[in-house]
Chain A
C-alpha cells in the first residue's frame, strides 16, 4: 500500500483504476504498522545565500498534535512550510535534506507539490478566507480536486468538522469576510479539511484571535486529532503545553562572521517531558521563561 501513495503523489489528479479510491480513503494511505507520517532528516533551508534553518531532524507521528515552539526567527514556520512544499512559493527559498512523507521524499523531482498540498492542508497565521461566500470557500478545494458526489454534503461535513456549522448554516451565501476573526479561522480550517487531507499544518492559527476564539480552536484541535495528524507552530508556550502530544523546541544561533541568525531544532520529545524535564538546558531555559 505504501507504493500506492508513491504513485499518487507523482501522478497529479489521476487515479489508479486498480485501487479502490473512495473519498474516505483518498488522501489517507493505509500504512499498517507504521505510525510515523513525516521523517525529516538533515533539513536546511536557505533564502538566497542566507541559511535560515539548519540540520533539522524530527519525526512526526500519526494522529498526534506536534507543536513547534521557540523564539522569533528560529525557523519554526519555515520548517512547517517545508512539510507541504509551501516554501516553493518563495522564489529564493532552497531546501536541502530530506522531508520523508510515508517514505516518499516530498522534494523528489517527480513529486507534484499540488498533490502534496491536497493531502497536507494548511491553516495560516492570519485568517485568509477567499472573498467569496462561506459555501464557496469550503467548496473550492473539493471542486478543483474534482470531488464527485453531493457538494452540499461535503461543505456541511467540513463546516461541522470545524465546529462552525451551527453558526453559519442559515447564511452559507454570506461572504466569508463577514464572519468574526475566530469564525474566519474556523472557516479556514473547514476549507482545509474539506479536501480530506491526512495532515493539517497550522501556522500560529490563534495569534490573531482573542482568548475565547483561541480556546474554541484548541478544543477543535482535540476533537479532530483522531482523524488528522496536526502540526502547529505557536509562539505561546501554554498553548503548546495545553494542546500538543509532542513538542519540538527550536532556537537560533548567531553566525559570528555575518551577524545573521540561523534557526535549529534543539530537541523534540513528548510534551510532558519537554515542559517538566527536558534533556537540553536551552529548552529548560526557554520553557521556564528565562530566555526568549
Chain B
C-alpha cells in the first residue's frame, strides 16, 4: 500500500495516520511456508546423517570397548573377532600421501597457469570446460586408466597391482578437483593486490609468488583437503589397481616404503568386504572400521580449518 499523503493534516492526526500506515503489516504467509520448507530440507539431510551416525556408533562401539588396541593394530583375518584394520589404515595413509605429493603441486601449478599466465582465449575456456568435466567422470573410469597405465604399462616402476599404482591413480582422480578449487582461490585474489605489486616493478613470478599464492593459500588448502577426503573414500579404482579383499600377507610398519610396490588394502575396501560378509561379528567390525574412517576424515577437515584460519588471520 502506498503511503497516503499526509500534507495538510495537522499534528496528532498526521502522526496517527503515518503510524497506521507503517504498522499495517501484510501477513507474509508464503514467506512463512517457504521458510518452513527450507528448514525441513535442512532437517532431512541432518536426520539422515544422524540416523547413519547413530546406527554405526551403536553397532561398532562394542568393538572399541572390547578390544580397541587389537582392532587398530590387527591384520585382516577370516574370523571377525580376530580381525583388525591396521593394514587398511596403512593403505589409506599411503594413498593420502600420494594424493598430497602428486596432486597438490601439479594441481596448484596448473591452476596458477590457467589463472595468471594463460591468455583468456578459446583455449583457456576449452581447458576449463574439460577440467570441469574430468571432475565429474565416474571413479571406475579412472580405475581403468590406472589399470592400463600404472598397473600394466608402468609395472616396472609401480610393481603392477600395488599401493603405488592405486595412489597415483587416486591422485589423478582428484587432480581436477584440486585444479578447480585452487583456480577459484586464485581468481578470488583482488586485482588491486596484483596491481600494487606490478606497480612497484614486480615481475609476474614475483607477483604470483609473493602476493597471489599467499593470499590464495587458505582456499587452496581447503580445496586440497576436500579432495584428499574424496580420495581416501574411493573404493572402485582400488579394486582395479590391486586392492586385496581377503587376506594380506606381510607385516610392514606404517611408514615402511618397501610396501609401495606390493598388494595392499584400504579402509573403504575393508568396509565393503566386511559389510557384505554374513557371518557373525562382521557387521560390527565393519561399523567399527567406518568409525575409524570418519575419525580420519574429521581429523583432516579439522586440520584444514585450522590451517585456513591461521593463514586468513595472516592476511588481514
Binding site for B on A (CB under 8 A): 84, 86, 89, 91, 114-115, 117-118, 121-122, 124, 126, 128-131, 140-141, 144-145, 175, 177, 188, 191-192, 194-195
Alpha-carbon distance between A128 and B207 when the two chains are bound, in angstroms: 14
Chain A residues near B192: list those with CB within 8 A. 124, 126, 128
Rounded to whole Å, the gap between the CB of A159 and the closest CB of chain B is: 15
Best-surrounded residue of A86, A89, A145, A175 (most CB of chain B within 10 A): A89
Q: Which residues of B contact A84 (CB under 8 A)?
A: 199
Given contacts A114-B202, A128-B192, 10 further A-B contacts (CB under 8 A): A84-B199, A114-B203, A122-B195, A126-B192, A131-B215, A140-B197, A141-B202, A192-B199, A194-B200, A195-B200
C-alpha gap A129/B314 in the complex (Å): 14
- For B194, what are the chain A residues with a Cβ–Cβ distance below 8 Å? 89
List B contacts of A191 (CB < 8 A): 196, 200
CB <8 Å contact, A192 and B195? no
Min C-beta distance of A73 to chain B, whole Å: 19
**Which residue of A has the minimal Cβ distance to B214?**
A131
Q: Taking the complex as formed, is B206 at the interface, i.e. its CB lies under 8 A from any CB of chain A?
A: yes
Q: How far is the CA of A145 from the CA of B316 in the complex (A)?
A: 26
Cβ-based interface call for B201 (8 A): yes
**Considering residues A117, A188, A191, which has the most beta carbons from chain B within 10 angstroms of its beta carbon?**
A117
What is the CB-to-nearest-CB distance from A88 to chain B, in angstroms, rounded to a whole number? 8
Q: How far is the CA of A272 from the CA of B289 in the complex (A)?
A: 83
Cα distance A191–B193 when bound, in Å?
13
Option from B199, B210, B316 in Cβ contact (under 8 Å) with A117: B199
Which of B120, B195, B210 is within 8 Å of A124, CB to CB? B195
- B64 touches A (CB below 8 Å): no
With A and B bound together, what is the CA distance between A126 and B190 in angstroms?
A: 12
| Residue of chain B at shortest CB distance from A191 | B200
A-B contact pairs, 27 of them (CB 8 A): A84-B199, A89-B191, A89-B194, A114-B201, A114-B202, A117-B201, A124-B192, A124-B196, A124-B199, A128-B190, A128-B192, A128-B193, A128-B195, A130-B193, A130-B196, A130-B197, A130-B211, A131-B215, A141-B200, A141-B201, A141-B202, A144-B206, A175-B316, A177-B316, A188-B196, A192-B199, A195-B201
- Cross-chain contact B200 with A140 (CB below 8 angstroms): yes
B276 at the interface (CB under 8 A from A): no
Q: Does B315 contact A (CB under 8 A)?
A: yes
- Is A117's CB under 8 angstroms from B196's CB? no
**Which residues on B sit within 8 Å (CB–CB) of A131?**
193, 214-215, 314-316
Within 8 A of A (CB), among B144-199: 190-199
Within 8-41 of B, Cβ neighbours of A (below 8 Å) are at: none
A197 to chain B, nearest CB (A): 9
Instruction: Output the nearest chain B residue to A178 by Cβ-Cβ distance.
Output: B316
Smallest CB separation, A290 vs chain B (Å):
35
Please, which residues of chain A bring their CB within 8 A of the CB of B202?
114, 140-141, 144
* Interface presence of B277 (CB below 8 A): no
Q: CA–CA, A115 to B120, complex, Å?
A: 25
Bound form: Cα–Cα A9–B214 in Å: 30
Q: Once the chains bind, are A192 and B200 in contact (CB under 8 Å)?
A: yes
Say yes or no: is B119 at the interface (Cβ < 8 Å to chain A): yes
Expressed in whole angstroms, the minimum distance between the Cβ of A264 and any Cβ of chain B is 25
